[in-house]
Structures are given as C-alpha cells and as structure tokens.
Structure 1
C-alpha cells in the first residue's frame, strides 16, 4: 500500500518579523503530535518536507516524538507554501492597503481569502508565482510521495495541503482557500495512492489534542 500522512506545520510566528520560525507553543505541538502518532503505531518508511524553516522545525519535534532521525527527510519544493505576503503586496501594489493587512489576524485572513480567489482567476498582475505553477508543483510533490511503497510522512503548509486535498477530491479550484483556512496547526491529512488515482482518507485530524491539551489548538 502507498500511504501519505501529510502534516501541516506547527504554529509559526504570525505578525513577527520572521513568520518562518516556530513559536514556543509550536515546538510543543510538534512534539505532542509525534507522541500521538507513535501511540497510534505509525512507523513511516519515508520522510519528506518542504524547504521552509517551519517545516524542518516541525519535523524535528514530530520525529523526536516518533523516535526517528529527521535528517533522513527529503525536500520537495512542491510542499512549500505560496508567498502569501508577496501575493497580498502584489494585489495592493497600486492601491491603498487595509490597515493590519499583515499583522491583524481577522484582516489578514479575510484579505488572503479574497486575494487567493483573485490569483486563481489571474486577476493579480505580476504575482510572486503564477497560480498554475503553484498547482503544478503541489501535484508533483503528491505524485512523488505516493510513488513509493509504504508509508510516507511529510510536513507542508496550509495552502499546499488545501490544494492537494481539493485536487484529489476533484473540487473547484476555489475550494483550496476554504480548506486552507480550516486547517489546524499540526493537523494530519491522509492520502492513499491507487492504481489510477489517489484518494483522501482523512483531513484535519488532531490526535495530539485532548481535553487536557486543548491549549495546543491553533490555526496560524
């Protein structure tokens, strides 16, 4: 069987100068997830991550909980997030931008939703990455990871995961951002590789969160 256990990274540093760094809570989340996956009996045969720091730091915590060596992970650019800061800046390049665009959560995520939908409709001039290029690299990552026999554990970001889920479900492109905004930090999505297509087997699972660890539930 070919199975992909795909994790969203732990809580990063929203509103800070460098988002791409796990918060203290993010480190706790990643270790707790690794321990929860170990309790479920997960023993992955392959490890993959994107090239972003938050992916590596998340895998380090998860791997510690699972008793694995994170240095064995392969890197695939298709697991990287789209440049949401650059995309928002491109949309507001020649017009007034909303107050709090990059540091107020409600404003940021409302504008991000509308910006991604405009990006998909090719309505943003000179984006950091064309929509179709992003979709293609995410597809390449899924195919590469599900080409290997056994169980693959990978760490990615909300946009890439949302796109992967939407494509496997053959949902409209617009569903990507709606899925993305639901995905919790350190949430688990599961895919099964079939002979002619891939299948979604789980979405937004949080085995590291219980009544005693509810403080670990975050979205950004």
Structure 2
C-alpha cells in the first residue's frame, strides 16, 4: 500500500488583513515537521499542495527537494465568505476578532452551510466536497509510494470523514481539532483508501518543541 501524508499548514495570521501568510510560529512548526520526517527516514516522492500561500510556504519551510504540483481542491473553504453570507455582510466585530467566538460561530455556520442555508455563498457544500474528492483522486492517481500533501483543516476533516463514511457534521468536528502542521496519514491502492493516523504531532513531542503547538 502507498501512503498519502496530509499536513495541515503552519499557523497563519489570524486577525490580520491578510490571513494567507504564515506567522513566525507557523514557519517554525513547518520546519519541525519536515525535520522530524527526515529523521524518521520518510522522504516523499511526490509533493502536492493547494494554491494558497500558507500551504505553499509550509511545504517550502519543510525543506524537501522537488517541484510541487498544485490542485485547487486542496484549498480551504472560504470561511470569511460563509460568515458574510450568514450575517448578510455585517459580521459582528466579536466574531471577527475573538478566537473563541469566531470558531464557535464558524462551527454553527458550517453546519448551516451543509444544509444549503445560504443562497449567496460563493461555494456550496456539494461543490466543496466534490473538489476535495477530485483532489484526493488527483493525489492518489500515481505510481509514487509516498505522497506528501499540504492542505488545510476543513479539507483534511472532509478527507477523514469521507474515508470513514461519517455524517457531514463530522467534518467540522474533525476540522476544529486539527493542529497546525499536524500529520494525517492514509493508505491507498487502486480504489482502496483508508485512514491510518489522524492529527499526529510527533514533531512536538519533546520539551524543547512542546511550545510549538497551536490550533489556529
């Protein structure tokens, strides 16, 4: 069986004008993930990211050689657009600026999105799940034995939920657990695709790296 190792991007710039950049911590998390994989002798023979800068920069900081392929199906859903659609363009300041309020509200909003509650969202739930599946098919249509993918929490949550045949809401329950630069591992062969590890952070499992942990 071949392996698909999906890494969530490092910490991004929450609350900043441009969220799609890594923070200093995000760069260090990504470098630690790459270093740990090399220490374990796990070197990918195919690299794939979405088209977001925080995904590309995570892979760059991981330090592997090779040219990465890109697939837009690995991009995160547009949470800012979903909040805009829910609040008719007037998102409360507390939702935008307070982490706890933001993620609690986002969880509720995604549940509504899954029920097609928003007529003017840029992407429907069905379109999101279809592009994630297209990205999975793209990444696993290969002779490579070790495929490294860098994506985002919502996509990873959906990959895991779909692989388990879980209800739609489970995607968001998983999404909110996923740590920055965490590793989720699948095995694949032909039409077979199964989860073998979720949300692992062995690269933080030492006293000198424990402070690298973050969720958003």
Q: Match for residue 207 of structure 2? A: 211
Matches within 5 A, 1:14-29: 14-29=14-29
SS of 2:55's partner is helix
Question: Could you tell me which of 133, 138, 142 is aligned with 2:132?
Answer: 138
Q: How many residues end up aligned between the 2 structures?
A: 214
**TM-score (ref. length: structure 2):** 0.96
Matches within 5 A, 1:1-220: 1-62=1-62, 64=63, 66=64, 68-69=65-66, 72-93=67-88, 97-149=91-143, 150-209=145-204, 210-220=206-216
SS of 1:189's partner is strand
SS of 1:43's partner is coil
Unpaired runs of 5+ in structure 1? none
SS of 1:21's partner is coil
Q: Deviations over 1:112-135 (max 9, x none)?
A: 000000000011121110110010
**TM-score (ref. length: structure 1):** 0.94
Q: Deviations over 1:138-179 (max 9, x none)?
A: 001111111212110010000001001000010001000100
Contact kept, 8 Å, 1:2 with 1:148, in 2: the verdict is: no
Residue 20 of structure 1: how far off its partner (Å): 0.4
CA root-mean-square deviation: 1.2
Unpaired runs of 5+ in structure 2? none
Contact kept, 8 Å, 1:37 with 1:207, in 2: the verdict is: no
Greater alpha carbon shift after TM alignment, 140-149 vs 116-125? 140-149
Give the Cα separation in 1 of the matches to 2:169 and 2:161: 9
Contact kept, 8 Å, 1:47 with 1:154, in 2: the verdict is: yes
Contact kept, 8 Å, 2:83 with 2:91, in 1: the verdict is: no
SS of 2:95's partner is coil
